[in-house]
Structure 1
Amino acid sequence: MNIEKSDTSTGYSSSWIMLLALLTALGPLSIDMYLPALPQMASDFGTTTQQVANTLPAYFFGLAVGQLVYGPISDRIGRKKPLYFGLILYSLASLLCVLAESEWSLILARVLQALGGCVGVVMARAAIRDRLDLSQSAHAFASMMIVMGLAPILAPTIGAWILAFFSWHAVFVVLAMMGLVCLGCVHFFFKETLPADRRLKLNFSQVARLYMTILLDRSFRLPMLAGCFSGAVLFSYISSASSILMDGYHLSQQQFAYAFGMNAFGIMLLSFINKRLAGHLGVLQRLCVGVLIQLLGAVILFAAGLQWLHSFVGVMAGMFMAVAGIGFTGPNATALAMSQQGARAGTASAIMGSLQFGCGLLGGVLLNILSWNAVLNVAVIMLIFLAIGGIAISALIRDQRLQSTI
């Protein structure tokens, strides 16, 4: 398997993108595969589905913290060594989830699982920036999202199939095995993308200054905010999906898996369309298109939450648009944010990923605080996040117009 031979038009090979997508897919697999099991877990733990769903914000917390650690470490020692550590930790923590006897022990195990699993997404973004320019990066991120889009489509279905024969514990056994598969792929097929002469020699105080320097860089900060808050819409949806679809509309585990998979398919579909539009619309223009699609979906959900729209089909349509729009916003915001980061791409990737999952954690907390119905709760959170993302995009457009007039 040669993952290094690149297509001259894109700057990367399909097998290389598939490897990076596999590493990144651990996140959605870990988040989505156990969603059909939440009611069963709640019954075992003697609590509510929403209480068990709090293990999702716990996972987001681990993702947010872990990425801040892996980013600067990878800029100092390279991309491959952190992958070894993170994937081993992920596999061990997945087995700890199997042993959980309450929602609180599961929360702790999920935090550890996330601290390990988040290494893949940091290294994937950094590796792409190590090798590719802005246009190639946007293309690569879109290609990766198409491939990894299969993960949230398949994950709930796989989870439902496992539950048809085994208890929820088996889901985490499967995740542990996937972590070991990723570890093997890294060992045999992942080639270091950051050579020793480009690595940053950083101590703790220098890392803190580097974080500050990157955050003060408007060319990074504005697209990062746009990507993080539009991406956080997905995590708000994930945190509420079981309550809305299984508790609210009484979908079975298998029906939930199909409904969830359809929304995840939307991300893959719009990622494909995003790639096809690369020759017609610029990166920033496609980012704007994505936010508008997500905003329309959030407005439909808001109307449903206010009971102006009573149709289950309408709720599903709103969810589909709010989630699928990430196929435009995710790749383009990431490409813009990473385009000027050079050797500090690992740290920049960590900041972007950490804030995105931090927003997911915030969305999960808000879902527990808001006292309206589940649909209205998630719609309000989505609208707030998209408003912040829209403000960042407006500032980015103004900056680009100013630069074009100079």
Structure 2
Amino acid sequence: MTTKKYIKLILILGSLTALGPFSIDMYLPGFSGIAKDLHTTVAKVSMSLSSYFIGISAGQLLYGPLLDRFGRKKPLFIGLLVYILASLGCVYVADIDSFILLRFVQAIGSCAATVASVAMVRDLFPVKDIPKVFSLLMLVLGLSPMLAPTIGGYVTEDYGWHTVFFILMCMGMAILIAAQVGLPNSYKPDTSISLKPKPIISNFLKVLKEPQFFTYAFTGSISFSGLFTYVAASPIIFMDIYHVDAKTYGWIFAFMSVSFIGSSQLNSVLLKKFSSEQMIFGALITQSVIASVFLILAVNNLLGLYETIAMLFLFLGCLGISNPNTAGLTMAPFAKNAGSASALMGAIQLGLGALASFAVGVFVKDSVAPMVVIMTSTTIIAFIVLNIGKRFIKEKVEVSKDDDVLVGH
């Protein structure tokens, strides 16, 4: 493969990967504007985030079988088309319920891009290059939550929140054209794959029964729902409670991403010395201590804007360490069912994330405390699940040192 072709493929796959995070983070600075225009509360607007997470969660399970059955490009084309139309709908939306529904449809569409990009890395690159390609895509995934809210903050302040969805629609169109023109047909449709619910469900059940899968998938997903809690609560916390403007909010959000990305880079250094299990255990203990201190401060009203930012920064740092390791150990036992295992892991993670962000919409109104309560309880539950689940694992499958694991946002 020529360098030019290699770069072209990475750029297209990277843009497919970035569509999801941009759709999640770019409109966050517009929450109070959306609430005002649609005559509702910011907490109700945050339900549109939950509906987006539910959409991605369901979409993960849906596209896995479709991409194997019909090849990569057809489902990708249809998914992106759905995404473009839903984004257009969001530009002209008149009430909050239609907005929440359109965000769900938008998520189902964008999910095609996320799942297809992972599948196509496996199709297009030789096995020895796959970890390197995934690392590059991880960089895109990492930069997206830094760039998206900052850009969104400026667009919202200067042109209003409708423009954000117009930009997302244009991104969808550009990616659709690039994917159709620039990506080869990397996979022959496999007509033997049944799309009947029964074989698909039995495949997922087989994956679920593996003790190493359920232990680390649930440990990882429950602790990771702390991140979703933060994402959903952050517009309410920073813009409603601490009264920062949309641009400043975008910068705060970008600063928080540094913690998550920095610690996941530190993770690869620490793995030379420690095993994945030790890393998860250490990260969860540290995270429990940080969350408990955070809770004591929140309940006693000892948190200002800067203290809140500092505590969240430390909390997210622990997730950057535990998340790649739980993902690696979750996927390790599956040489054959990797697609189903990866889809199921993504669905569990996003499903629990949707629940957490839903709880934020219900409980977080005028204080930081409910957000911290949710974060502390998810961390402690994850720690308990880890210690109970470990007892069921008879033979442990290790992650080989040169494997890189793709982590969902």
TM-score, length of structure 1 as denominator length = 0.86
Q: Does 1:332 align with 2:325?
A: yes
Aligned to 2:212: 219
Matching residue's letter, 2:50: P
After superposition, residues 6-405 of structure 1 pair within 5 angstroms as 19-126=12-119, 144-190=137-183, 200-201=193-194, 203-307=196-300, 309-370=302-363, 374-395=367-388, 397-398=390-391, 403=396
Contact 1:128 1:140 in 2 (8 A): yes
| Distance in structure 2 (CA, Å) of the matches to 1:14 and 1:129 | 16
1:132–1:227 distance in 2 versus 1, CA, 3 Å: farther
CA 1:235/1:21 → structure 2, altered by over 3 Å: closer, same or farther? farther
378-387 or 257-266, which deviates more: 378-387
Residue 295 of structure 1: how far off its partner (Å): 3.2
Q: Distance in 2 between matches of 1:75 and 1:394?
A: 36
C-alpha deviation, 1:293, in angstroms: 4.6
Residues 403, 176 of structure 1: CA spacing in aligned structure 2 closer, same or farther, 3 A cutoff? closer
Give the AA of the match of 1:74: L
Distance in 2 separating the partners of 1:133 and 1:398: 37
1:197 to 1:50, Cα distance in 2 relative to 1, 3 A: closer
Shift in CA distance, 163/2, structure 1 to aligned 2, threshold 3 Å: farther
Distance in 2, matches of 1:191 and 1:318, equals: 46
In structure 2, the CA distance between the partners of 1:321 and 1:127, relative to structure 1 (3 Å rule), is: farther
**Could you tell me how far apart the structure 1 residues matched to 2:60 and 2:11 are?**
21
- What are the ranges of 5 or more consecutive residues in structure 1 without an aligned counterpart? 6-12
CA contact (8 A) 2:150 2:247 kept: yes
Q: Which stretch shifts more, 246-255 or 66-75?
A: 66-75
> How far did 1:299 drift?
2.5
Residue deviations 1:177-227, cap 9 Å, x none?
222233234334545666667984453210111111111122322221122
Secondary structure at 1:149 match in 2 = helix
2:212–2:393 CA contact under 8 A, matched in 1: no
Q: Cα–Cα, structure 1 residues 324 and 89, in superposed 2: closer, same or farther, change >3 Å?
A: farther
Residue 302 of structure 1 contacts residue 379 of structure 1 at CA under 8 Å; is this kept in 2? yes
Separation in 2 of the partners of 1:166 and 1:342?
49
What amino acid maps onto 1:152 in structure 2?
A: P
% identity of equivalent residues: 32
1:200–1:344 contact (8 Å) kept in structure 2: no
Q: How many residues align?
A: 397
CA RMSD, Structure 1 to Structure 2 (Å):
3.2
CA contact (8 A) 2:68 2:190 kept: no
3-state SS of paired residue (2:337): helix
**Post-superposition shift, 1:21?**
4.2
> Residues 312, 400 of structure 1: CA spacing in aligned structure 2 closer, same or farther, 3 A cutoff?
same
Q: Which amino acid aligns with 1:153?
A: M
Shift of 1:383: 2.1
Distance 1:309 1:125, change over 3 A: farther
Distance 1:274 1:83, change over 3 A: farther
Q: CA deviation at 1:19?
A: 4.8
Q: Kindly provide the amino acid, as one letter, of the partner of residue 32 in structure 1.
A: D
Q: Deviations over 1:215-274 (max 9, x none)?
A: 112232222112212221111111110111111111111111111111112122112212
1:10 maps to which residue? Answer: none
Conservation of the 8 A alpha-carbon contact between 2:86 and 2:106:
yes
Q: Secondary structure at the match of 1:325?
A: helix
Report the Cα offset of residue 300 of structure 1.
3.7
2:169 aligns to what SS in structure 1? helix
Q: TM-score, normalised by structure 2?
A: 0.85
Unaligned regions of 5+ residues in structure 2, if any?
398-409
Q: 1:81 to 1:344 in 2, by over 3 A?
A: farther
In the alignment, the residues of structure 1 paired with residue 261 and residue 228 of structure 2 have an alpha-carbon distance, to the nearest angstrom, of: 16
Counterparts of 2:136 and 2:384, CA distance in 1:
27
Any conservation in 2 of the 1:363–1:381 contact (CA below 8 Å)? yes
CA distance in 2, matches of 1:61, 1:239: 14
